[in-house]
Chain A
Amino acid sequence: MSKGRVTRRDLIARLGLGAAAIPLLYAGARAQSAPAFPRRLVLFTVPSCGPRDLFWPTGTETDFTLSAMTSPLEDLKKKLTFVGGVGSLSAYDQPNFAVHEAHCHLLTGAQTVSLQGANGRYNGVGGPSLDWTLANLPAMSGLPFPQLVVGYNYEGNGYTRAAPKAAGQAAPEITRRDNPATLFDQLFAGRPTVGTAVDPSIARIREERASVLDYLTSSLNSYKVNLGTEDRQKIDFHLDGLRDLERNLNGNATTLGCTPGTRPMTADFSNIDNVPALVQRQLDVVTAALSCDLTRVVTLQWAHDGGNRWNYPWLGPEFKQAVPKASDPAGTGIISQHYLQHQAWTSPDLTAMRAKLEGWWLSQYAYLAHKLNSVQEGSGTMLDNTALVFIGAQGFPGNHELYPHPIIITGSCGGFFRTGRFVKFGSRTDYNEPEVTKVATRDGLVAHNRLLVSLANAMGHPISTFGMTGSAYQGPLTELHA
C-alpha cells in the first residue's frame, strides 16, 4: 500500500504538478458513487434515555401521542419511527459478558473479548462496529471522510467507546476533540471551493506532511522487522493510523461542491457551562459535512456509561448538588448522569432529574433532526435521505439492563423505512409503566443485531447477519421497512 502511495506522489512530482492536482485523482470515484442524493446513517448514541414511561409514546402503531420528553420532535412526527422491544440480547448470550460493556456492544453486537487494560483485564470489543463496516464499503472509498466520529465526553477505555473497528481497537476518528472550530478546520480548512485556487501555504503544509508520512511509513516498516508478533501488531496498528492521516490529508484536497457555512466561534470549552453551545456547534458542523457529502456515516457519542465526571450544572441548581449523604456519606461527589442512572428510580425528585438530563440529550437530537430537515434535497430534505438513529445503550440502567433500548429512527433513509410509526416488537407491554428494581425478563424481545442488519440494508449493504450469528440474531427487522 505504501508503495502505491509513494509512486503516486513521485509521479505527480515528476510530472511537475503540485498538490493542487491531487483532487483530480478523486474526482472519478466521487462521480461514480453519486446517486441523485446519497443515503446517510447518523448514529446518535447516549448511555440511556428514560425513565421509560417518560420516553415512550402512548398509543398504537400509527396512532400515538409523543411523551413530553420527545415533544421537541412533534412537528417531525410523520418522519419518526419509535422502535420498541429491541435489546442487546447478544451481549448476554456469551461467556465474556459483563454489564459495563453496553456502549461498546451497541454497534457491534459481537462476542466480547477479554483484553488487557491499564487497570487489569476488561471485556472489550470483539468485532467491527456497524459504522466502521459501512465506511469501509467500496462505495464509500471515494469520500474524504468515510467515517466521522464526533462527540463529547466519551473518551475512555475500549469498552466505553461506541465505534470500534475491531477487537480492542478504537475507531479511526478524525477528531476526539471537543472544540467544534477544530472539527470544522479538520473537515473544511484549506479545502478549495469550486473556482478558487489552492492557498499556496496550505499546499506546502500538505506536501510537507505527505513527505513525513511517507518517511514514517517506511521507518515503521523497518522498525517492526525484528519485533515479536504482538509488538508487530502494535506497529501495524500505528501504520493503519498513518494511512488514516494520509487519507484525511488527501480528503482535504478534494474540491468542495458546496459551501460549508461559517467556522464556529471558539469558546472556552473547558468551562462546562459552554457545553450546550459546544454540542450544537458540533451538530452544525456535522450537518455541513453531510450536506457537502464529505461523509455519509456519522457516529455521535454523547457521554458513556461509566464514571461520575459527567455533570450537567447548566440544567439547573439541582444539578450542582452534592450526591446525597445516604449514598455518599463523605459527600465527595456532585450529582452525575451515572448517579442518576443508578438511583433515579428510588425517588420522584431523582426521577425528574434523570428525565430532565436525558431529555436534554433528546432535545439535542431533535435539534440535529431539524437541522437535517432544513437542507433541501430535491423535493424533500436531507433528513428524508438519512436514518438518524437515537439509541440508548441501556434500557433500565438501575439494573444495568441492556434492554429494551430506547430507539427512534428519524428519516426514512431514502424511502427504506416506513415512518410515522411506533413499532413494538415482542410481547412486552410495559412501555408506559414506571421502572422497577426487579430484574426484567428478556423474553419477548428481539436482538438488536437485527436492527443493525436493517440499518446496513438501508445503506445498501445487503447482509443478513451482523455481529453474533445464530437464528435469534439473524435477518433484518422487515416490519420496519417500507
Chain B
Amino acid sequence: MEQHQNQVGHPCLLEALTIAALSVAALVGCTGTLSGTDSGNRSAGPNQGVGPGGVADPGGGVAAGGRDATGSLLPAVGPAGLRRLTTREYDNTVRDLLGDDSGPSRQLVAESHGAEGYVAFQPMGATELEQYRSAAEAIAARAVGQVADLVPCASGTAEPICTRAFIDSFGKRAFRRPLAAAEATELEALYTGVRMRAGLSHSDGIRVLLTAMLQDPRFLYQRQLGSGAADANGLVPLDAYDMASRLSYALWRTMPDAALLEAADSGRLGTEAEVRAQATRMLADPRAREATTAWASSWLGLERLDTLSRPADAYPEWTPALGAAMRRESEAFVASVVLDGDAALHTLLTAPVAFPDAALSQLYGVAKPTLAGGLSQVNLNPTQRAGILTQASFLTAFPTPVLRGKFVRERLLCQTMPPPPPNAQGMGHVLADPASERERVSAHSTDPACAGCHTLMDPIGFGFLSFDAIGKWRESDAGRPIDDSGALAGTDADGSFVGPVELAARLASSADVRQCLTRRWFRSLLERAETDSDNGSLELLGAALEKGERPMRDMLLALVAAPAFRYRHPLSGEATP
C-alpha cells in the first residue's frame, strides 16, 4: 500500500477549521504563476438568492478600473448592502444604550470573518431569530429593574405620556436616528396593546417595548440611506444619521455617541472637514481600540485562537488561557502602533516587541512582566523576532510553513491561492523517519502535481521554520538544525532571505504589501469587499499610507473622508426617493 507522508500543512487537514477555507470552489491548480489578485467581489457573478450574499457591483457607467478614457479616476463608490451588527457591535451597543455590559451576544451565533477580512451577510433564520429574541428578553428584563431611571416620569404625569417621551428619546438612540411620528405611534400601540390584552404593569409594558426594539431591524441592521437625489456621477451623499452610524461602527464598533447624533441633528456631518474632525475626535477616544482590534482579528485570524487545541504531549504548555493571552497581546500591539505609536507599517511588521502575560513571557523567554495597569511592552530578541508575524498569535493560528506562506500570499499580498485538489491527501512520497518539517514540505517541489502551488507558498513559509506550532523558538527539528532560508517571488520585494527577521524586512519594504493592507483596512472598516468602483478611494488611502506622518492613522482619516465612506451608490431595485 502506498504510503504518503508528506501531506504537510494541508489546509484541508490541518487548520482546525474551516469549513470556510474548504469552501473555495475553484478546482484549478497552480501553474507556478499567480492566478491574479484577490479581488473581493470585483469579479463576483450575480448574487444568487438571499444566501450569505455580497452585493453585485452595479457598475453603472463605471469604466474598468474606475477610470475614464484618459486614465483619470472616476468618482465612484462600490455598493454597500444591508449588514447586521456583528456580535461585538451588538454587545457594545447594548452596553452604551442601557449600561448593560453583560456581553449578551454569548448566546448568539457568532459571525466569522472570512479570509478576505470582512463579515459577509448571514441570513437571519428562525434559529438566529430565536436567539436574538431570547437575548432581547433577558436584556429588557434586566433593564426594567430600574424602570424609574429608564423612563423618568414626574409624579402626576400619566405613564403613557412618559412612555411616549421615552419612545422618542430612547428610540432615537436605539435606531440611531429620530423616529418618524408613525414609527413612534406603532411602538406606543405595542405598549398599550400588551398592557390591555395581557394585563401588564407599566414596567412590564416597557419591558416588552424594549424587547421589541432590540429585535427591530432598525436596531439589528445597518443600512445606508442617501439624502437627496443622485449627482451627475450617480452618487448620493450619505444621510447625516447614517454617516454618524458609519463613523461610530467603523471607528468604535458601537452606536453613535451624543456628540455624533448632535452633529447629525445640526447637519454638521456633510463636509469632508466635518467628518474628519469627528473622526479625529473619535480616534483619541479609548473606544477607537475597537477598530484596530477588529482589523487585527480579521487580518490575523485571531478568532481561531479561541477554539484551538494542541496535543498535550507535544505542547504541554498549551492552554486555552495561553491562546487568549496571545490574542490580547497582538490586539494590544496593533493598537499601540496604530493609535499611540508612529502608526508606521514598518513598525507593525518589524518591531521586536511583545505584550505578554506571565505564561506568554515564558514562551518568549523574557522576564515575567509586572501586570499592574494592564499589559505593557517588552523587548524581544531582535535576531529572532520582528513584528506581528513573529508574535505567538500568528504563528499559532497559522502553525505550518505552508499555512504561513499562504497567509503572506493571501493576506499581505492580496493574491489568490487556489484550494488543494480533492485528492491531495492521496498524493505522497515515502520519507524515512525522522524527517524534519523542511524535508517533508520540500517533497512538494519534487512532485509536479504539488509544485505548481506549493512553490508559491512553501519558500516563504520556510522563513518561519524556527518557530514551532505555538510560536516558540527552536534550534532543531527532528534532530536536524533548522534551515530557515527561503525566497520571495512574484512581488516587488523579491529575493532570498534567511530567517524571519530578513523576511519581515522584505515585506515591510514592499509597496505591494502596503497596497494590500489598504484594502484589508477598507474591508474591515466598511465590512464589505471593495470593488473596482472603489479604486479612487483606495488610492487616497494608499497615498496616506505612503506619505502620512503617522501613516496608518492618517489612512483611517483618509478613509472616512473618501467617497466610499461619504457617498453611496443606489442599489439595483431601490425605490427612488
Tell which of A113, A155, A228, A331 touches B49, judged by Cβ atoms closer than 8 Å.
Answer: A113
For A114, list chain B residues within 8 Å (CB): 25, 45, 48
Q: Which residue of B lies closest to A247 (CB)?
A: B126
Write out, one digit per residue, whether chain B residues 178-212 have a CB within 8 A of any chain A CB (1) or not (0). Answer: 00000100110010011001111000000010011
Given contacts A157-B20, A168-B52, 13 further A-B contacts (CB under 8 A): A119-B18, A120-B116, A158-B51, A168-B53, A216-B217, A223-B218, A227-B574, A228-B570, A237-B125, A325-B433, A328-B14, A330-B469, A398-B426
User: Which of B48, B111, B199, B571 is packed against the most chain A CB atoms within 10 Å?
Assistant: B48
Question: Is the Cβ of A346 less than 8 Å from the Cβ of B1?
Answer: yes
Report the contact-size class of chain A (Cβ under 8 Å from the partner). 35 or more
Beyond A207-B198, A228-B573, A238-B129, whether A398 also contacts B16 by CB under 8 A is no
For B45, list chain A residues within 8 Å (CB): 114
Q: Which residue of B lies closest to A120 (CB)?
A: B24
- Determine how close the nearest CB of chain B comes to the CB of A30; give it in whole angstroms: 22
Q: Using a CB–CB distance below 8 Å, which chain A residues touch chain B?
A: 13, 96, 98-100, 113-124, 155-160, 166-176, 204, 207-209, 211-212, 215-216, 218-220, 222-223, 225-238, 240-242, 244-245, 248, 304, 306-309, 321-323, 325-334, 338-339, 342-343, 345-347, 398-400, 437, 439
Beyond A219-B216, A327-B5, whether A13 also contacts B425 by CB under 8 A is no
Give the CA-CA distance A218 to B133 in the complex, in Å.
16
Q: B232 at the A/B interface (Cβ < 8 Å)?
A: no
Give the CA-CA distance A49 to B430 in the complex, in Å.
28
For B47, list chain A residues within 8 Å (CB): 116, 230
- By secondary structure, the B interface counts as loop
Give the CA-CA distance A240 to B128 in the complex, in Å.
12
For A323, list chain B residues within 8 Å (CB): 13-14
For A159, list chain B residues within 8 Å (CB): 19, 23
Question: Is the Cβ of B23 less than 8 Å from the Cβ of A328?
Answer: no
Q: B55 at the A/B interface (Cβ < 8 Å)?
A: yes
- Determine how close the nearest CB of chain A comes to the CB of B314; give it in whole angstroms: 4
Give the CA-CA distance A346 to B577 in the complex, in Å.
65
User: Which of A118, A156, A212, A331 is packed against the most chain B CB atoms within 10 Å?
Assistant: A118
Give the CA-CA distance A117 to B311 in the complex, in Å.
31
- Determine how close the nearest CB of chain A comes to the CB of B417; give it in whole angstroms: 11
Beyond A100-B22, A215-B212, A306-B22, whether A204 also contacts B198 by CB under 8 A is yes
Tell which of A115, A248, A332 touches B399, judged by Cβ atoms closer than 8 Å.
Answer: A332
Between-chain CB contacts (< 8 Å), 24 pairs: A13-B197, A96-B25, A98-B27, A118-B120, A118-B122, A120-B116, A122-B24, A156-B19, A157-B19, A160-B19, A169-B51, A207-B197, A207-B198, A208-B198, A212-B208, A237-B125, A304-B19, A309-B17, A309-B307, A323-B13, A331-B315, A331-B469, A346-B4, A437-B426
Q: Using a CB–CB distance below 8 Å, which chain B residues touch chain A?
A: 1-10, 12-27, 41, 44-45, 47-56, 81-82, 109, 111-116, 119-130, 133, 183, 186-187, 190, 193-194, 197-200, 208, 211-212, 215-218, 221, 223, 225, 307, 309-311, 313-315, 399-400, 422-423, 425-426, 431, 433-437, 440-441, 468-469, 570-575, 577
Q: Which residue of A lies closest to B112 (CB)?
A: A118
Q: Which residue of B lies closest to A207 (CB)?
A: B198
- Determine how close the nearest CB of chain B comes to the CB of A136; give it in whole angstroms: 14
Q: Which residue of A lies closest to B215 (CB)?
A: A216
User: Which of A174, A304, A328 is packed against the most chain B CB atoms within 10 Å?
Assistant: A328
Tell which of A119, A155, A211, A245 touches B129, judged by Cβ atoms closer than 8 Å.
Answer: A245
For A339, list chain B residues within 8 Å (CB): 13
Give the CA-CA distance A235 to B130 in the complex, in Å.
16
Beyond A118-B112, A170-B123, A228-B574, whether A211 also contacts B50 by CB under 8 A is no
Give the CA-CA distance A99 to B23 in the complex, in Å.
10
Question: Is the Cβ of A330 less than 8 Å from the Cβ of B400?
Answer: yes
Give the CA-CA distance A204 to B197 in the complex, in Å.
9
For B218, list chain A residues within 8 Å (CB): 219, 223
User: Which of B122, B126, B434 is packed against the most chain A CB atoms within 10 Å?
Assistant: B126
User: Which of A116, A175, A327 is packed against the most chain B CB atoms within 10 Å?
Assistant: A116
Question: Is the Cβ of A211 less than 8 Å from the Cβ of B197?
Answer: yes
Question: Is the Cβ of A332 less than 8 Å from the Cβ of B14?
Answer: yes
Tell which of A113, A121, A155, A306 touches B18, judged by Cβ atoms closer than 8 Å.
Answer: A306
- Determine how close the nearest CB of chain A comes to the CB of B242; give it in whole angstroms: 12
For A333, list chain B residues within 8 Å (CB): 13-14, 16, 311
Question: Is the Cβ of A212 less than 8 Å from the Cβ of B573?
Answer: no
Beyond A157-B23, A169-B125, A330-B437, whether A117 also contacts B52 by CB under 8 A is yes
Question: Is the Cβ of B425 less than 8 Å from the Cβ of A398?
Answer: yes
Question: Is the Cβ of A212 less than 8 Å from the Cβ of B212?
Answer: yes
For A158, list chain B residues within 8 Å (CB): 51-52
Q: Which residue of A lies closest to B48 (CB)?
A: A113
Question: Is the Cβ of B53 less than 8 Å from the Cβ of A116?
Answer: yes
Question: Is the Cβ of A230 less than 8 Å from the Cβ of B571?
Answer: yes
Question: Is the Cβ of B21 less than 8 Å from the Cβ of A330?
Answer: no
Give the CA-CA distance A342 to B423 in the complex, in Å.
9
- Determine how close the nearest CB of chain A comes to the CB of B549; give it in whole angstroms: 35
User: Which of B22, B41, B120, B197 is packed against the most chain A CB atoms within 10 Å?
Assistant: B22
Give the CA-CA distance A307 to B11 in the complex, in Å.
9
Beyond A212-B212, A216-B212, whether A230 also contacts B55 by CB under 8 A is yes
Question: Is the Cβ of A338 less than 8 Å from the Cβ of B13?
Answer: yes
Question: Is the Cβ of B225 less than 8 Å from the Cβ of A226?
Answer: yes
Give the CA-CA distance A435 to B440 in the complex, in Å.
26
Q: Which residue of A lies closest to B3 (CB)?
A: A346
Beyond A328-B14, A346-B4, whether A211 also contacts B23 by CB under 8 A is no
For A215, list chain B residues within 8 Å (CB): 186-187, 190, 212
Tell which of B127, B311, B570, B571 touches A173, judged by Cβ atoms closer than 8 Å.
Answer: B127
Give the CA-CA distance A425 to B359 in the complex, in Å.
60
Give the CA-CA distance A378 to B54 in the complex, in Å.
54
Tell which of B25, B49, B572 touches A98, judged by Cβ atoms closer than 8 Å.
Answer: B25
Give the CA-CA distance A229 to B53 in the complex, in Å.
12
- Determine how close the nearest CB of chain A comes to the CB of B448; give it in whole angstroms: 19
Give the CA-CA distance A97 to B528 in the complex, in Å.
27
Beyond A13-B197, A437-B426, whether A173 also contacts B125 by CB under 8 A is yes
- Determine how close the nearest CB of chain A comes to the CB of B51; give it in whole angstroms: 2
Beyond A13-B197, A230-B571, whether A218 also contacts B186 by CB under 8 A is yes
Question: Is the Cβ of B572 less than 8 Å from the Cβ of A230?
Answer: yes
Question: Is the Cβ of A332 less than 8 Å from the Cβ of B25?
Answer: no
For A122, list chain B residues within 8 Å (CB): 20, 23-25
Question: Is the Cβ of A166 less than 8 Å from the Cβ of B49?
Answer: yes
Q: Which residue of A lies closest to B468 (CB)?
A: A330
Give the CA-CA distance A114 to B223 in the complex, in Å.
25
For A226, list chain B residues within 8 Å (CB): 225, 574-575, 577
- Determine how close the nearest CB of chain B comes to the CB of A20; give it in whole angstroms: 13
User: Which of B130, B225, B572 is packed against the most chain A CB atoms within 10 Å?
Assistant: B130
For B436, list chain A residues within 8 Å (CB): 329
- Determine how close the nearest CB of chain B comes to the CB of A251; give it in whole angstroms: 12
Beyond A119-B116, A330-B469, whether A231 also contacts B18 by CB under 8 A is no
Question: Is the Cβ of A173 less than 8 Å from the Cβ of B81?
Answer: no
Q: Which residue of B lies closest to A115 (CB)?
A: B51
Question: Is the Cβ of B194 less than 8 Å from the Cβ of A208?
Answer: yes
Beyond A208-B198, A227-B571, A306-B22, whether A245 also contacts B126 by CB under 8 A is yes
For A331, list chain B residues within 8 Å (CB): 310-311, 314-315, 469
For A100, list chain B residues within 8 Å (CB): 22-23, 422
For B435, list chain A residues within 8 Å (CB): 329
